[in-house]
Amino acid sequence: MWVEAIVAKEDLAKVIGELCPLRITIGGDGSVLLSDPREVALLEGVGLQMTVTAEIHWPVLGVQIPVSIRAATLEVKPEILETPERSSLTFRLKLDNVDIAILPALIDRGIVDLVNKELAAKHVELAWGFIDTLSHVFDLPEALASVRALDLRATGGRVKVTPEALALAVLFEARVEARTALPALAPVPPARRALPPPEPPRLRDLLRESPGTLAAMCGVALLAGMGLFALVSGSRR
């Protein structure tokens, strides 16, 4: 399943305003200080673009004093970086259209190229390992007797930039962890079949098995018949 997070341009501009002034280290002992962000825009295929004021301090340039840049275009390009270890959301920084009035144009371009090379190497550090951050195992209550936890794991992502917003879509895989085996239920006994009613004994069987019982039965029947005859005769008189 995919889950998408959308950050509107207005929200990005607010966050950038709170981040600046932003100092980024370059080289061994250099730094770039970015401040006064303005004209924030989102460009499809490029990323976030804004105009900033910058200050570069890097002794390797052969200039002992910081180089001040009155205006430069800063591009921030979000990308998904795939490595064997993990996937990360990275941000590539690039300076362009640098306005340095005190230095010749050739030196300006050389400074910008060196700084951009250093900034490009920073994208590995300017990264968010969203796979680790968004993956989590949710323990379930004991009332759910058959399952112990829900493992929700992020496995990849995509980033998209439109003129209105920046969108990050994350792919998740869900897995349910079962509890230990439940006690087996007692087997249900098979339903008993109704037995057919017994057949009445036949005269031959009774005579064979118990002649005395047969004689007693005949005597009882004779006495019952005589009693019935006497009752009928009396009622006629």
* Sign of CA pseudo-dihedral 132, 135, 140, 146: negative
Do residue 31 and residue 119 come from a single domain? yes
Do residue 29 and residue 106 come from a single domain? yes
Residue finishing a domain among 90, 111, 130: 130
Do residue 161 and residue 216 come from a single domain? no
Do residue 30 and residue 146 come from a single domain? no
Closest C-alpha among 144, 153, 159 to residue 171: 153
Task: Tell me if 53 sits within 8 A of 67, measured CB to CB.
Answer: no
Do residue 118 and residue 60 come from a single domain? yes
Do residue 20 and residue 119 come from a single domain? yes
Do residue 59 and residue 102 come from a single domain? yes
Provide the domain limits for residue 145.
Answer: 132-178
Closest C-alpha among 142, 166, 138 to residue 152: 138
- In the numeric block, the tokens 């036949």 are attached to 202
Distance CA 117, CA 52 (A): 19
Q: What is the pTM of this model?
A: 0.65
Alpha carbon of residue 161 to chain centroid: 23
Within-domain flag for 192: no
Do residue 108 and residue 223 come from a single domain? no
- In the numeric block, the tokens 């080289």 are attached to 27
Within-domain flag for 113: yes
Within-domain flag for 194: no
Q: Which residues pair with 94 in a beta bridge?
A: 75
Do residue 70 and residue 146 come from a single domain? no
Task: Tell me if 75 sits within 8 A of 116, measured CB to CB.
Answer: no
Within-domain flag for 187: no
Within-domain flag for 195: no
| Token couple for 130 | 């969203």
Strand order in the sheet with 136-139: 2-8, 165-178, 147-161, 136-139
Within-domain flag for 82: yes
Do residue 80 and residue 157 come from a single domain? no
Do residue 124 and residue 161 come from a single domain? no
| Token couple for 207 | 């005579």
Within-domain flag for 190: no
Do residue 74 and residue 165 come from a single domain? no
The pLDDT tens digits along the chain (237 residues) read 999 999 999 999 999 999 999 999 887 788 899 999 999 999 998 899 999 999 888 776 666 667 888 899 999 999 998 887 778 999 999 998 887 665 555 455 677 888 888 888 887 778 899 999 999 999 999 888 899 999 999 999 999 999 999 999 999 999 999 987 555 555 656 655 555 555 555 555 544 555 555 555 555 455 555 554 454 455 445
Within-domain flag for 233: no
Domain count, the chain: 3
